Amino acid sequence: MQPLDAKTLRQALRSLPGWRKRRGCLERTFERADFLDALRLVNRVGRLAERLQHHPDIQIRWNRVTFSLTTHDAGGITDKDLELARRIDRLATPGSRGA
């Protein structure tokens, strides 16, 4: 799998509101109601990541969770990261049943 070129990534980010390219990764921060709700989101994403065998870097700061996505073995952002970002968005949407 090859990293996405800059033009393809810019186009893809148009359909991923809130996500941005930062330090070679796709990144988005979600704000939750409280710390426990932030942990619930992390656990949901963790289960998804295990199923997909594609794991984000995760930072938790009280009620804020930041996910950073990159495909390390490809050396950059790939279609796998775009798909994981879409699925994380679905998991983070109130009332969502999953990805």
Q: Is 16 exposed, middle or buried (0-12, 13-18, 19+ CB in 10 A)?
A: middle
Give the CATH number, domain containing residue 11: 3.30.1360.20
What pLDDT was estimated at residue 96?
A: 59
Whether the per-residue pLDDT at 22 is higher than 60: the answer is: yes
The per-residue pLDDT for range 54-87, each reduced to its tens digit, is 999 999 999 999 999 999 999 999 999 999 999 9
Residues 6+ apart with CB under 8 A from 64: 29, 30, 31, 32, 38
Whether the per-residue pLDDT at 98 is higher than 60: the answer is: no
The total number of structural domains that make up the chain: 1
* Predicted TM-score of the model (pTM): 0.93
The reply to whether 1 falls in a domain is no
* Full domain range(s) for residue 82: 6-92
What pLDDT was estimated at residue 1?
A: 85
The reply to whether 97 falls in a domain is no
What pLDDT was estimated at residue 80?
A: 97
What pLDDT was estimated at residue 4?
A: 97
